[in-house]
A = this chain, B = another copy of it.
Amino acid sequence: MKLQTIVLSATVLLSTTIGTAFAQFQNAEKAIDYRQSALTVMATHFGRIGAVVKGEAPYNKEDVAKNAAIVAMMSTLPWQAFGPGTEGGKAKADVWSDNAKFKSAAEKLQLATIDLNKAAQSGDLDSIKKAFGATGQACKACHDDFKKK
């Protein structure tokens, strides 16, 4: 197989929508493993943008754009795995006792990552820095209220 063929056929277009609807998992353990996994992948790619924003890594438009696109997609995933009966892991009981607030925090993050993705695709580093900060605030706000220390 020619390399060209691989690269051409390898472009995957994803269209995801934000939301906080629950999905079915076999059991609570599977749900916890899934949501922690999705958050780990998101945090890894967010951290790579952070290194650029903090000046620890050089700015490369393509890399930041790719990382931001992954962050935006990943930010839509974890919430489906916080359904009833999946208490545990690092989640505070407040996720379930104040679920409307939790869902609102999850939506704020998803919207923030969409802005970050737009900024990253535009290639304007100042916009990226601003959107990165806002996204970090959305992460922190949710962690403060809903993640165990």
Contacts and interface: CB of A to CB of B under 8 A. Distances in A.
Interface of A: 6-7, 9-18, 23, 30, 33-34, 36-38, 40-41, 44, 48, 66, 69-70, 72-73, 76-77, 107, 110-111, 114, 117
25 contacts: A6-B111, A7-B17, A7-B18, A9-B111, A10-B16, A10-B18, A12-B14, A12-B69, A12-B114, A12-B117, A13-B15, A13-B69, A14-B14, A14-B69, A14-B73, A16-B69, A33-B40, A34-B41, A34-B44, A36-B37, A37-B37, A41-B41, A70-B73, A70-B77, A73-B73
List 4 tightest A-B contacts by C-beta distance, closest first.
A37-B37, A14-B14, A37-B40, A10-B18
Chain A contact residues: over half helix, strand or loop, or mixed?
A: helix
Copies in the complex: 2
